[in-house]
Amino acid sequence: VAYMGVVGSFPFNSFLSSVLSCIGSAVLAVCLRIQVNKDNKEFKDLPPERAFADFVLCNLVLHLVIMNFLG
C-alpha cells in the first residue's frame, strides 16, 4: 500500500485488488475464528469441519476474483 502511495495508483485495479485481497483474507480468517470458537453460543451447532470448508470455499472464490481483477 505504501508503494502504491508513493508511485501513484495508475493501475488502479491492481492496487485495489491487492488491498481488497488483504482485507478479504483478514475478514474471512476472523469469521472462521468466530465460528470455531467454542465459547460462542450462537455457533454451538455448527461443526468446525463445516466452518473450515466454508472458509476454504470463500477463500477460493476470493483469490479467483483477485486474480481476474489483477489484469
Partner 1 sequence: PRPAPRADETLAQIPPPRPPMAAAASTMLESLPAPLLRALRLKTKQQELLLRVSALALIYVLAFAVRLFSVLRYESMIHEFDPYFNYRTTLYLTEHGYSEFWNWFDHESWYPLGRVVGGTLFPGLMVTAALLHRLLRALSLAVHIREVCVLTAPFFAANTTLVAYAFGREIWDSGAGLVAAALIAVCPGYISRSVAGSYDNEGVAIFALLLTFYLFVRAVNTGSLAWSLAAAFGYFYMVSAWGGYVFIINLLPLYVLVLLVTGRYSQRLYVAYNCTYVLGMLLGMQIRFVGFQHVQSGEHMAAMGVFFLLQVFFFLDWVKYMLNDVKLFKSFLRITLTCVISVGTLALGIGTASGYISPWTGRFYSLLDPTYAKDHIPIIASVSEHQPTAWSSFMFDFHILLFLFPAGLYFCFKRLSDATIFIVMYGLTSMYFAGVMVRLILVAAPAVCLISAIAVSATIKNLTTLIRSKSKSPQTTGKTTGSKAAAKGAVDQPLPFQHNVAVALLLGAFYLLSRYAIHCTWVTSEAYSSPSIVLSARGHNGGRVIFDDYREAYYWLRQNTPTDAKIMSWWDYGYQITAMGNRTVIVDNNTWNNTHIATVGRAMSSYEDEAYEIMQSLDVNYVLVVFGGVTGYSSDDINKFLWMVRIGGGVFPVIKEPDYLVNGEYRVDKGASPKMLNCLMYKLCYYRFGELTTEYGKPPGYDRVRGVEIGNKDIKLEYLEEAFTTSNWIVRIYKVKPPKNRS
User: Under the rule (CB under 8 A), what is the footprint of partner 1?
Assistant: 12-13, 16-17, 20, 23-24, 27-28, 30-32, 34-35, 40, 42-43, 46, 50-51, 54-55, 57-58, 61-62, 65-66, 68-69
C-beta of 3 vs 39, nearer to partner 1: 39
Q: Identify the CA nearest to 33 among candidates 54, 59, 49, 51.
A: 51
Sign of CA dihedral 59, 13, 27, 4: positive
**Do 66 and 21 contact (CB within 8 A), yes or no?**
yes
For cell 466452518, name the residue: 51
C-beta of 2 vs 71, nearer to partner 1: 71
C-beta of 7 vs 12, nearer to partner 1: 12
